[in-house]
Amino acid sequence: MEELTIDNTPVTNEKDQEAVIEAVLFTMGSAVELKQLATAIGQDKETAKAAVERLMKRYQTGKHGMEILQLEDSYQMCTQSKYYSNLIRIASAPKKQVLSDIVLETLSIIAYRQPVTKLEIEKIRGVKSDHAVNRLVEYNLVYEAGRLDAPGRPALFATTEEFMRRFGIGTLSDLPNMDPEQEDEIRTAVEEELKFKLEELGSSNATEEAQELLEAAVTKEQEQEKE
């Protein structure tokens, strides 16, 4: 069997660059980072970005069944949604994921306050949110992004690339602006909940731990305001 040789020669022709990127996006199926596309053509990120933008423009003009979406610093080739009804003629319709009002409410909180803990979500909603968060994780709309540097190290949740694809959002900055009053209500709700925990714990050791949690949460809120 003939051994496969890999050609590492940089791709300089613009049409060839577009062809290589097109092949990569089609083959990968999922989102591909710009630096990976640059590696594929043996060029820098600026050259790769120019090539993928030319390719996107080609798909935006004329009749094409596919389109290329930009997801922050990544790109993905997808079927155009307007042809969905044609596709289901030859394939079984996928299971429809119905998002209830409760799940949508939880998703909205995570989208605007990410990364956010269940404690913050539950205080804003006023009820337990385990089921809603778990359902969103199951639907691949949110994921565990890390742990809060506070007692108990609670999990932090944030939205996924699938969330951006599903709602047609290129970056999180594309989210509709939240009313300033709503932001104040969320911040106040979190601080009041943590103060309540502080008073409830009572003992000096527990008080110190709760105080640390309060300071960590307030600091995170202030950082998010600056962004």
62-77 per-position pLDDT tens digit = 788 888 988 888 999 9
Q: Which two tokens stand for residue 222?
A: 């202030």
Whether 4 is covered by a domain: the verdict is: no
Nearest alpha carbon to residue 138 among 167, 111, 98? 98
Q: Are residues 83 and 105 in the same domain?
A: no
Range of the domain at 129: 101-226
Q: What is the pLDDT of residues 162-201, one digit of tens each?
A: 888 787 777 777 777 766 665 566 555 545 544 554 455 4
The mean pLDDT of 92-103, rounded to a whole number, is: 70
Domain membership flag for residue 9: no
DSSP string across 128-197: --HHHHHHHHHTTSEEEEEE-SSTT--EEEEE-HHHHHHTT-SSGGGSPPPPHHHHHHHHHHHHHHHHHH
User: Last residue of a domain, which of 87, 111, 130?
Assistant: 87
Whether 105 and 72 share a structural domain: no
Mean pLDDT across the chain: 78
The pTM score is 0.48
Mean pLDDT of 36-40: 94
- For 2-17, give one letter per residue: b (16+ CB within 10 A) or e: eeeeeeeeebeeeeeb
Same domain, 151 and 214: yes
Helix (H) or strand (E) holding 17: helix 14-28
Q: In the chain, how many domains are there?
A: 2
